[in-house]
């Protein structure tokens, strides 16, 4: 059984700049920079986190980003990886499609609703909304002019 | 007579696009698949979603926690009770409320009844998808009994909204135990008939065996869960791995159904056997419902503490997650519903390739999509 400390020590060896947080939720949270993101995820995949439970697009007000929930199906350990992007105009992240196949649809959904562009994704198009939709409705600064949701 | 010789080498075949859905009965709702076809062989699948997208996650950001539960009915409407339970559990986890044991037992019985109803509907429609119309009538006859039980206690047949933060909406109807006890032997007696009717049929077996194989590694990589993953041998039942409600409070004995073939028949068998396991679970609880109230004390206006809360439950379709990010206000900062159907659809993109279009319909059927669950 892998403990949180094992994950922290193994990650710190390759990435000394990572921030860890154990209070935020019941799982270990890893905060990574966009530059380290792909390498950190690859590292966790090799450490046995084979199940990408979900990818959640986030708008923290100032930054956009993604929260990933990973699970090791053998031990049941979970870890949360967060990545924040300062640039709200052209947010870009590398795709995880080549590590977990499930990222294919999850990343398309995040692109659609938050406008984060995943570099290297095979089909980076809108998924839920129509092609001619303007703006990204899950962002906090989205204006609901037709009063579709906000009454 | 002049003979015409045809040089087949000169004939050019051309790939073409085919729209499957959104108004296609086999897509079980409004799922649109853009298929690249070579004759009758599927070369590529591109799902186009959003025909029933209601932006439930965005709506949640403007509703109180009690209201959110009513939105989750409308996601996977065949597991509506389990969805309600997931949100209620997430809120209870955040507020650190311990609900009465009666609530836990009621929730689990209702959840298992919902699972059986969902699998029964799936079985009926599955038969229809491969050309056996009779199954639909039988499945709906038996599913009706569960709907009636639900109606008596919850006041609704499909979208129950029965769980609330800290408890359940109403107490059980006096007839509840009697009717559930009538239902258990009834379903036990009809499932062998179902097997006679469909499972053993040679044509059906040939449509199922070896079609749409999803390997163990791919099932995990695609994020598949529920009967889809268990058909590929992945042990992923949240009721065992991360027990909640009565699975945690009581010592319930049941088996996790695993098949390793990963084909249509394996997924089919998992669901057929799961119905019997659900009956076992209900049987262990129905005579032993404690009487310690149906509601823990909660405030009229629920505010969650700052933080992040994730609750995972096992719905009829698989691993469903409710992820709430709270900033301490009366409505959540962000809610994410991780729906099992969304990830299972990802698996279809791969396993559907290379099959005949008629087999694609059968594969979609064993993946058991509910489109509002995928679109949210």
pLDDT, residue B43, reads: 87
Between helix A4-14 and helix A34-46 the angle, nearest 10°, is: 130
State mean pLDDT over B259-284: 91
Give the predicted TM-score (pTM) of the model.
0.88
Residues of B in contact with A24 (CB under 8 A): 307-308
Pairs of CB atoms within 8 A across A/B: 89
What is the 3 state secondary structure string of B316-327?
CCCEEEEEEEEC
B54 touches chain A (CB under 8 A): no
Contact A150 B62 (CB under 8 A): yes
On average, the pLDDT of chain B sits at 88
B47 touches chain A (CB under 8 A): yes
Task: Kindly tell me if the per-residue pLDDT of B186 is higher than 90.
Answer: yes
Task: Kindly tell me if the per-residue pLDDT of B185 is higher than 90.
Answer: yes
B221 touches chain A (CB under 8 A): yes
State mean pLDDT over B145-163: 89
> B222 is written with which tokens?
């695609």
Question: Smallest Cβ distance to B221: which of A54, A67, A102?
Answer: A102
Contact B236 A130 (CB under 8 A): no
Tell me: the pLDDT tens digits for A42-74?
988 888 898 999 999 999 888 898 999 999 888
Contact A101 B236 (CB under 8 A): no
State mean pLDDT over B274-287: 91
B89 pLDDT tier (thresholds 50, 70, 90) = very high
pLDDT, residue B64, reads: 86
CA distance B113 to B120: 10
As a whole-number percent, the residues of chain B with pLDDT over 70 amount to 96
B309 touches chain A (CB under 8 A): yes
As a whole-number percent, the residues of chain A with pLDDT over 70 amount to 99
Tell me: the pLDDT tens digits for B317-354?
889 999 999 988 888 999 999 999 899 999 999 898 88
Contact A69 B323 (CB under 8 A): yes
Nearest CA in chain A to B223: A102
Task: Kindly tell me if the per-residue pLDDT of B1 is higher than 60.
Answer: no
| Domains of chain B with bracketed CATH | 55-375 (1.10.645.10)
State mean pLDDT over B232-244: 89
Contact A128 B375 (CB under 8 A): yes
A87 pLDDT tier (thresholds 50, 70, 90) = confident
Task: Kindly tell me if the per-residue pLDDT of A24 is higher than 80.
Answer: no
Task: Kindly tell me if the per-residue pLDDT of A5 is higher than 80.
Answer: no
As a whole-number percent, the residues of chain A with pLDDT over 90 amount to 21
B83 pLDDT tier (thresholds 50, 70, 90) = very high
Residues of A in contact with B312 (CB under 8 A): 53
| Residue B288, helix vs strand vs coil | coil
CA distance B57 to A100: 24
Residues of B in contact with A27 (CB under 8 A): 310
> B98 is written with which tokens?
């311990």
**Other beta carbons less than 10 A from residue B35's beta carbon:** 19
Q: Which of A79, A140, A148, A144 is nearest to A115 (CA)?
A: A140
Q: Say how many CA atoms lie within 13 Å of A119 toward its Cβ.
A: 9
Tell me: the pLDDT tens digits for B49-75?
888 888 899 888 888 888 889 989 888
Q: Where are the domains of chain A?
A: 4-119
Nearest CA in chain B to A78: B310
> A25 is written with which tokens?
């939720």
B306 touches chain A (CB under 8 A): no
Residues of B in contact with A149 (CB under 8 A): 55, 58-59, 62
Tell me: the pLDDT tens digits for B11-32?
667 888 888 878 777 677 788 8
Contact B310 A138 (CB under 8 A): no
Q: Does domain A4-119 have CATH number 3.30.460.80?
A: yes
pLDDT, residue B10, reads: 63
Q: Which of B223, B336, B233 is nearest to A49 (CA)?
A: B223
Handedness of CA B83, A102, A115, B31 (dihedral sign): negative
pLDDT, residue B301, reads: 83
State mean pLDDT over B118-125: 91
State mean pLDDT over A70-86: 89
On average, the pLDDT of chain A sits at 86
B58 touches chain A (CB under 8 A): yes
ipTM of the complex: 0.89
pLDDT, residue B6, reads: 59
């Amino acid at each position: 059984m892998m403990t949180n400390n094992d994950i922290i020590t193994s990650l710190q060896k390759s990435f000394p700049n990572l921030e860890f947080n154990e209070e935020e939720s019941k799982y270990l949270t890893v905060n990574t920079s966009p530059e380290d993101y792909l390498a950190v995820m690859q590292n966790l995949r090799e450490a046995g986190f084979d199940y990408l439970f979900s990818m959640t697009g986030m708008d923290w007000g100032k930054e956009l980003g993604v929260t990933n929930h990973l699970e090791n199906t053998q031990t049941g350990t979970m870890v949360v990886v967060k990545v924040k992007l300062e640039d709200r105009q052209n947010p870009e992240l590398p795709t995880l499609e080549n590590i977990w196949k499930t990222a294919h649809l999850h990343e398309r959904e995040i692109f659609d609703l938050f406008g984060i562009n995943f570099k290297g994704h095979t089909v980076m198009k809108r998924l839920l909304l129509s092609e001619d939709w303007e703006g990204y409705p899950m962002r906090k600064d989205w204006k609901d002019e037709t009063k579709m949701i906000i009454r | 007579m002049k003979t015409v010789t045809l040089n087949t080498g000169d004939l050019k075949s051309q790939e073409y696009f085919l729209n499957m859905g959104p108004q296609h009965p086999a897509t079980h709702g409004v799922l649109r698949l853009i298929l690249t076809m070579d004759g009758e062989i599927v070369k590529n699948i591109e799902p186009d979603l959003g025909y029933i997208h209601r932006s439930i996650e965005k709506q949640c950001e403007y509703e109180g926690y009690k209201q959110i539960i009513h939105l989750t009915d409308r996601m996977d409407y065949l597991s509506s009770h389990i969805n309600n339970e997931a949100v209620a559990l997430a809120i209870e986890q955040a507020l650190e409320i311990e609900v009465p044991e009666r609530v836990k037992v009621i929730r689990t019985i209702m959840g298992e009844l919902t699972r059986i109803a969902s699998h029964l509907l799936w079985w009926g429609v599955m038969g229809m998808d491969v050309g056996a119309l009779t199954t639909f009538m039988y499945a709906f006859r038996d599913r009706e009994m569960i709907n009636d039980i639900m109606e008596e206690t919850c006041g609704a047949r499909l979208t129950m909204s029965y769980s609330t933060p800290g408890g359940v909406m109403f107490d059980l109807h006096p007839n509840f135990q009697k009717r559930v006890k009538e239902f258990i032997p009834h379903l036990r007696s009809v499932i062998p008939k179902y097997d006679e009717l469909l499972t053993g049929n040679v044509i059906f077996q040939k449509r199922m065996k070896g079609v749409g194989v999803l390997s163990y590694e791919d099932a995990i990589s695609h994020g598949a869960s529920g009967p889809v993953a268990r058909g590929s041998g992945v042990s992923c039942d949240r009721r065992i791995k991360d027990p909640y409600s009565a699975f945690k409070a009581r010592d319930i004995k049941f088996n996790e159904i695993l098949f390793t073939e990963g084909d249509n028949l394996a997924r089919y068998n998992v669901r057929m056997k799961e119905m019997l396991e659900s009956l076992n679970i209900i049987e262990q609880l129905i005579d032993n419902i404690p009487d310690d109230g149906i509601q823990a004390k909660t405030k009229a206006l629920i505010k969650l503490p700052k933080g992040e809360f994730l609750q995972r439950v096992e719905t009829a379709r698989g691993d469903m997650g409710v992820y709430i990010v709270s900033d301490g206000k009366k409505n959540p900062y962000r809610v994410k519903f991780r729906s099992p159907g969304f990830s299972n659809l990802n698996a279809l993109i791969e396993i559907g390739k290379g099959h005949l279009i008629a087999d694609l319909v059968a594969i979609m059927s064993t993946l058991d999509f509910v489109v509002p669950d995928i679109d949210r």
